[in-house]
C-alpha cells in the first residue's frame, strides 16, 4: 500500500497528487483497505471530500455561509438535497456553479424563498440535471420554461404543491425534456392536464389533487408508456367534465397501477369502461369511491385478469356478491385492502375465504405496496 511501482522505480503514495489518490481510493472495495489507506496519505481528508458524490442536508438553519463552505469542500457532487433549508434564497443558488458541472440530481424542495430568479442559476450552472425537486417552491411557468430549455436531460421532475404552475409550464417540460419518465404535479390546482401531449416516454405520473378535465386526462394518457397514474382526491372545485370513463377508451391500455382514491363521483359505467380498457392493471386503488355498485365489482372480476391488489376502504356499496365476483374472476389476486364496507357480512367473508384461501384481506388504510420510489422521497 505504501509504494507503487512506476517505470522501474518506487513512487511513495504520500507524494501522489490528489487525482491519482482519489482514483486509487475508488478502487479499494474492502473496508480494511480503505482504513489502511488514510494513514498513508497526508491529504486523506481532501481525497475523501473529492470522492463524496451524494450530500443530503437536513438542517433548517443552513444559511448562505454554511452552504458556501459545504460546496467548497464537496466539489464533485452528483446528488444534492437542500430539502427544507428554508433560509436558502435565490442568491444562494448562484453557488451551484461550484458543483454544476457534475450535478445530476438536485432538491430545493421546501426552500420557500426560492423563486424564478433562483431557477435561472440552476438552469445556467446545472445543465446535466436528470432529477429536480421543487416541492412547495414559489416558482411559475416562466421559471419552468427557462429550466426546461436548459436542462433537456431531465427524467424526473417533482412540482408538488407549486400552485402557480399551469399547463403552460407542463407543456414547456413535455416539449423540451423528451426523456421525461416521472412527473409529480400533486396539488397543482391550476393544472388540468392539457400540457402533457408530447410526453411520449412518461411512465409515472402523480396528478392527485389537481383540477383535471376530460381533455386533460386524454392528453395525460396519450403517451403509450404510462404505467403508474395517480388521479386521487381531485380538486372538485376545478374539475370539469366526467373524465374517469376516458381512462378506459383505449388510452390506458398499458396502465399497471391506477389510483382513484377519493373520486366519489365514479360510477359503475366508469368502472366497467376502465376494467375493459386497462387489462394490464395489477393494483387498483378505489377507496372512498362510494358510488361503485355490484355492476362495477362484477366487471372487475370479469376483465381484470392481471389484478393482484385492490383497495376498497370506505366503498359503502361493496357487498358479498361483489367480493365473490372479484374472487371468482381475478385469478392473480393476492391482497384486498378493505375496511368500513358495511355491506360485507361475516357469511360473505367466510365464503370468500373458503373460495380464495390464497388471498389476504387486510384493513390497513393508505397501504401502497407498488408505490413508485421518487428520488427525493
Query: Taking every pair of C-alpha atoms in the chain, what is the biggest distance, in angstroms?
Result: 86
pLDDT profile of the chain (377 residues), mean per 10:
40 46 61 57 58 82 90 91 93 94 95 95 96 96 97 96 95 94 94 83 92 84 84 77 80 91 93 95 96 98 97 96 97 96 96 96 80 82
Predicted confidence at residue 40, as pLDDT, reads 52
Q: Which triple of cell numbers denotes residue 165? A: 404552475
Predicted confidence at residue 328, as pLDDT, reads 95
Predicted confidence at residue 2, as pLDDT, reads 39
Q: Which triple of cell numbers denotes residue 142? A: 416562466
Return the closest-CA partner of residue 18 out of 57, 39, 49, 55: 49
CA distance 217 to 193: 6
DSSP state of 158: E
Predicted confidence at residue 110, as pLDDT, reads 92
Give pTM, 2 decimals.
0.85
CA distance 296 to 82: 46
Predicted confidence at residue 365, as pLDDT, reads 80
Amino acid at each position: 500500500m505504501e509504494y507503487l511501482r512506476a517505470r522501474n522505480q518506487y513512487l511513495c503514495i504520500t507524494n501522489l497528487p490528489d487525482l491519482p489518490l482519489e482514483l486509487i481510493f475508488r478502487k479499494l472495495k474492502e473496508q480494511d483497505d480503505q482504513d489502511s489507506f488514510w494513514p498513508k496519505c497526508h491529504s486523506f481528508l481532501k481525497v475523501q471530500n473529492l470522492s463524496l458524490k451524494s450530500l443530503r442536508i437536513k438542517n433548517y438553519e443552513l444559511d448562505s455561509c454554511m452552504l458556501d463552505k459545504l460546496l467548497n469542500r464537496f466539489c464533485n457532487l452528483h446528488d444534492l438535497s437542500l430539502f427544507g433549508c428554508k433560509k436558502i434564497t435565490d442568491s444562494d443558488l448562484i453557488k451551484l456553479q461550484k458543483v454544476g458541472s457534475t450535478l445530476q440530481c438536485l432538491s430545493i424542495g421546501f426552500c420557500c424563498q426560492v423563486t424564478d430568479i433562483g431557477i435561472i442559476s440552476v438552469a445556467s450552472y446545472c445543465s446535466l440535471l436528470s432529477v429536480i425537486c421543487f416541492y412547495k417552491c414559489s416558482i411559475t411557468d416562466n421559471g419552468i420554461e427557462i429550466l426546461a430549455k436548459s436542462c433537456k436531460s431531465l427524467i424526473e421532475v417533482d412540482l408538488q404543491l407549486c400552485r402557480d404552475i399551469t399547463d403552460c409550464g407542463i407543456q414547456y417540460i413535455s416539449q423540451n425534456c423528451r426523456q421525461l419518465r416521472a412527473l409529480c404535479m400533486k396539488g397543482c390546482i391550476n393544472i388540468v392536464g392539457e400540457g402533457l401531449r408530447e410526453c411520449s416516454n412518461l411512465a409515472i405520473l402523480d396528478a392527485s389533487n389537481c383540477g383535471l378535465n376530460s381533455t386533460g386526462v386524454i392528453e395525460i394518457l396519450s403517451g403509450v408508456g404510462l404505467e403508474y397514474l395517480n388521479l386521487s382526491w381531485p380538486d372538485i372545485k376545478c374539475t370539469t367534465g366526467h373524465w374517469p370513463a376516458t381512462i378506459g377508451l383505449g388510452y390506458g391500455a398499458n396502465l399497471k397501477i391506477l389510483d382513484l382514491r377519493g373520486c366519489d363521483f365514479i360510477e359503475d359505467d366508469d368502472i366497467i369502461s376502465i376494467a375493459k380498457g386497462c387489462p394490464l392493471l395489477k393494483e387498483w386503488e378505489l377507496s372512498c369511491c362510494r358510488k361503485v355498485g355490484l355492476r362495477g365489482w362484477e366487471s372487475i372480476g370479469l376483465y381484470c385478469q392481471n389484478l393482484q391488489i385492490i383497495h376498497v376502504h370506505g366503498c359503502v356499496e361493496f357487498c358479498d356478491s361483489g367480493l365473490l365476483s372479484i374472487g371468482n374472476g381475478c385469478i392473480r389476486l393476492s391482497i384486498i385492502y378493505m375496511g368500513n364496507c358495511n355491506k360485507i357480512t361475516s357469511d360473505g367473508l367466510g365464503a370468500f375465504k373458503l373460495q380464495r384461501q390464497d388471498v389476504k384481506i387486510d384493513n390497513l388504510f393508505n397501504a401502497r405496496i407498488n408505490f413508485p420510489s421518487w428520488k427525493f422521497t
